[in-house]
Amino acid sequence: MPQKTHVADLNRRRFLRNTATGAPETPNVCFSIIALTDCSPIVVAHEKGFFKKHGIQSSVSKEASWAVIRDKLQTGDNQATHMLLGMPIASTMGLGGSARKPMVFPWILNRNGQGITLKAELAGKVKDDPKALKPFVEKAK
């Protein structure tokens, strides 16, 4: 395990030497997930070995609720997760019954805008009945 360096001990040369290796900053990452479709990028990357390819030993922990995910992230039991859009902001502000804990969210995969989009030719033919889509799918096969 690499030795931790105090911020005061850092200098430009040491910083460059430590970052130039290309090694991940955190080589062991436990991802917490809620078993919904929006966790699929994490699960697929883990199962296909994408994390391992970049030197990260990943594990995936299925959790029971969003509150459990938030709490495990705050305590350090898990290092990364997918969350509802407002959760990292609320956690940073100490809202919603959580302790005030700053969180970094480097990317947003989704802003709660899921939808199924159909081509213009199907306009008015499907309406609000998903069963009406089946003949078009069968024909496209």
Q: Residue 40 CA to chain centroid, in angstroms?
A: 9
* HSE toward the beta carbon, residue 80, CA cutoff 13 A: 20
User: What CATH code is carried by the domain that includes residue 50?
Assistant: 3.40.190.10
Instruction: With respect to residue 79, please indicate whether it lies within any of the assigned structural domains.
Output: yes
Query: pTM for this structure?
Result: 0.61
61 backbone dihedrals φ, ψ, rounded to 5°: -120, 115
In whole angstroms, what is the distance from residue 46 CA to residue 122 CA? 37
* HSE-CB for 19 with a 13 A CA cutoff: 7
Question: For 27-84, how does the pLDDT look when each residue is reduced to its tens digit (9 = 90+)?
Answer: 899 999 999 888 888 999 999 999 999 889 999 999 999 999 999 988 889 999 988 8
Would residue 76 count as lying in a domain? yes
Q: Report if residue 7 sits inside a domain.
A: no
Residue-number span of the structural domain to which 78 is assigned = 25-111
Q: Is residue 41 part of a domain?
A: yes
pLDDT tens figures, 107-137: 776 666 666 677 888 878 877 777 888 888 8
Bridge partner list, 30: 59
Residue 5 lies in a domain: no
Question: How many structural domains does the chain have?
Answer: 1
Instruction: Confirm whether 140 is domain-assigned.
Output: no
